[in-house]
Amino acid sequence: MALITPLTRHVGSVSRWVTQSRGFAIKRVTLLEDTNGFGFARSNPRPGKPRSKGVTEIRGPYYSVGSFSLFHEKELRELIDLAHSYGVYVSTGGWAEHLLTHPDPNAVFDRYLTKCKDLGHVLDVIELSSGFLSIPENDWLRLVDKVHAYKLEAKPELGIQFGAGGDTPAGDLEALGTSDPGKLVNLGQRFLDAGVQRLMIESEGITENVTSWRTDVVSQIMKELPPGRVMFEAADPKVFNWYIREFGMDVNLFVDHSQIVQLECLRAGIWGTADTWGKIVSLR
């Protein structure tokens, strides 16, 4: 599971804190895992943290661009430390997109990474979004290298819909058209070759703000990129229900903070709708 926090993950004028597992958390056992609790009931075992599959990321209850920059530093550090104490990593989200619009983006981005690094051993992942920007692929790769040079982890966000993440009506987005999924796959592979551990796949144009879902795009991504190194935005129960049904409990998903229990129960096989109830299983 992941912790709920409000940092910057760009979903329009949206931001989020994103968290998942780190290696030094206190080991906690749920009642479902406890032989003296409800361990007698059938469930799908979840791997321990840090996880390489079945990873869940969430956004907090409040989000708007750069909300973490409005924190007092002491409280921000305390919040991140709390996340780490539960074995979760913390991502800055997509504020990088805002910084790239500055007159001297290289210098501004260096100052941004310097401060993220200064926040200590605390901030772990720097998300790189460009849903509203047109940026050459090689420049994007240079940003990845820059993040890695600061000993931070880069997490690019990829999609097929330009203008994704905003408050633009679905009809207007459809009028803009979508890009070739092959372009996403090729760029994603370049990022992985550059040392990126996990890619975020934007939902707009695929399962959000569309007349019909582009399941063909999801299938192409899962076929041509390592499934364990991609994560899909799925902040809608019917969407993450479909992902789990089609790809099993180990698919990596990003959901809203209010949906974490519902998703974890679905992964464990102890909850479901008519098409998933009693059908999500594993051989472990």
| Domain membership flag for residue 114 | yes
Residue identified by tokens 């030094």 is 24
Per-residue pLDDT at 166: 56
Per-residue pLDDT at 1: 33
Q: What is the pTM of this model?
A: 0.84
Per-residue pLDDT at 240: 97
Tens-digit pLDDT profile for residues 92-150: 877 888 899 999 999 999 999 998 888 766 678 999 987 778 889 999 999 999 999 99
- The tokens of 72 are what? 């007092």
Phi, psi of 116 (to 5 degrees): -60, -40
Number of domains into which the chain is organized: 1
| Domain membership flag for residue 199 | yes
2 pLDDT band, cuts 50/70/90, is very low
| Domain membership flag for residue 280 | no
Q: Is 88 helix (H, G, I), strand (E, B) or coil?
A: strand
Per-residue pLDDT at 123: 74
Per-residue pLDDT at 33: 85
Task: Evaluate if residue 216 carries a pLDDT over 70.
Answer: yes
Q: What is the DSSP string of 197-265?
A: --EEEP-BTTTBS-SS--HHHHHHHHHHS-GGGEEEE--SHHHHHHHHHHH-TT--EEEEGGGHHHHHH
Per-residue pLDDT at 190: 98
Evaluate the CA torsion angle 186, 220, 180, 102 in order and state its sign.
negative
The least confident of 12-21, 215-224, 265-274 is: 12-21
Q: What is the DSSP string of 151-195?
A: T-EEEEEE-SBTTTTSS--HHHHHHH-B--HHHHHHHHHHHHHTT
Task: Evaluate if residue 6 carries a pLDDT over 70.
Answer: no
| Domain membership flag for residue 101 | yes
Per-residue pLDDT at 163: 67
Residue 97 backbone zone (phi > 0: left; psi -120 to 50: alpha; other: beta): alpha
Tens-digit pLDDT profile for residues 35-50: 888 888 889 988 887 8
CA distance 73 to 189: 36
CA distances from 61 to 15, 56, 58, 72 (A): 10, 16, 10, 19
| Domain membership flag for residue 225 | yes
Task: Evaluate if residue 178 carries a pLDDT over 90.
Answer: no
Per-residue pLDDT at 213: 96
CATH number of residue 59's parent domain = 3.20.20.70
CA distance 160 to 78: 37
Pairing state between β 18-21 and 125-128:
unpaired
| Domain membership flag for residue 219 | yes
CA distance 276 to 270: 10
| Domain membership flag for residue 150 | yes
What is the crossing angle of helices 105-118 and 137-149, to 10°? 30
**Structural domain range at position 220:** 18-268
Residues 6+ apart with CB under 8 A from 39: 31, 32, 33
67 or 155: which carries more pLDDT confidence?
A: 155
| Domain membership flag for residue 246 | yes
Pairing state between β 199-201 and 153-158:
parallel
165 pLDDT band, cuts 50/70/90, is low
Per-residue pLDDT at 8: 36
